[in-house]
Every structure is written in structure tokens, then in C-alpha cells.
Amino acid sequence: MSLKSSIKTVMTLGRGVAQGIPPAADDDDPIELFRKWLTIAEEAGIHEPNAIALATTTPEAAPSVRMVLLKGVDERGFVFFTNYESRKARELEASARAAFVIHWPVLERQIRVTGSVSRVPEEESSAYFSSRGRGSRLGAWASKQSRPLPERSELVSRVEEMKERFGGGEIPLPPFWGGYRIVPDEIEFWQGKADRLHDRLVFRRTATGWEPARLYP
């Protein structure tokens, strides 16, 4: 983090603690509130403010969680990208459900999201893949994500093979790589407050829209 970002982060300490979360109206849009909070985190200079802890489950209901980067937020839901042969992808394909939490300690804020999961269209995955650095694109082709790696030299060798394979030309979207969209049915906003009397505001999707409710801390 740069000195400028560090200063901005320190100046942001505890933002929102005094004011809390404003009352929610029935027509409030939690997606828009999510984007507003994310923008504040980005402007604060927080390192990777879009990092989320993504939770999935095995068919036996064993939970697993890992950090991934959120790459898209709109009225359709929340998008991230991965190898479709990874552990997370296998679990997502099996259950079609997921949850994540995004946490900004310096702001004393977090947001929890739960919902159904589906793959994004290939053209959407391809557009994002093309925006990545060349090294990341080569790495996506080289990595057998989540599978055993006897020694790191094997991964390095596979990257070199991909460099030779594609040369200086375009690196296309791998057929085993792409995005997932979490379509939320519940979004909870948490704002830290003094004496641990935190603000919690949850939105639950209904047949007619979003229904807000306050929760005890």
C-alpha cells in the first residue's frame, strides 16, 4: 500500500461508527447499498477491498471457505472467476448454493451474502479473461487448480510450456475456466458501534422485492 493510501486508510478509521446504518425503507436496494459501501472502501485506499471469504459445502455438508476476489456487482448478483475443475467449483456445481462475507476492519463494516449460484455466459468470462495480465492468463492455463502438485518446478515448467504454446499471440479463454454469479436471496449489512451494540440490517428477497429488517447485535 502506498503512503497516500495508508494515510487515507488511517483517516477512515471507524467511519460510520458514530452514525450507524440509516433506517431502511421497503423500496431500498441492498445491491446499491453494497456498491456504495464498496466504493467507500476503495476510496479509503484499503488493499483489495473486493476480497471476499467464499463459503461452499461438499455433498456431505462439510463446509469449506477461501478468499477470492469479487469482480462484478450489479442487479443480477455478485461475480467471481475460477478454474471450473477446482474444489470450490466442484462444490458449487454440486449444491448450486454459496455464501460470502466481505469485511473492512478499518471501517468496522462487513456484509454477508447468501444465494444461488450459476455460471456466467462464456462471453462474459472471455471479456474478463482478456482484461487480465498476460502472466495471469498463462497461469490459468498452466494450473491444475486444487490438484496435488509434487513440486513447484512442475508448475514453473507448465508455465514455460504455455509460453511456448502461445508465443506472442493471443491467449484464449481456457475451456475449464470462467465465472460464477451468486444471485442473492439474503444480504446483511453490519456496522460496528460502541459497546458492541452494533447495527445489523438484513434484506431478504421476496416475490415482490426486498424486505428489510433490523437484527439484534
Identify the active-site residue in 112, 152, 181, 196: 196
Active-site residue, 196 included: yes
In single-letter form, the type of residue at position 120 comes to: V
Environment class of 111 (CB within 10 Å of its CB; exposed 0-12, middle 13-18, buried 19+): buried
Query: 88: which 3 cell numbers?
Result: 470450490
**Within 13 Å and on the Cβ side, how many CA atoms surround 105?**
1
| Residues 76 and 183 sit within 8 Å (Cβ to Cβ) | yes
125 Cβ neighbours under 8 A, 6+ residues apart: 81, 173, 177, 178, 179
Across 77-133, where does the E strand assignment appear?
A: 77-83, 97-104, 109-119
Give the integer Cα–Cα distance in Å for 217 and 214.
Answer: 9
Number of H helices, E strands in the chain: 6, 9
Active site residues: 196
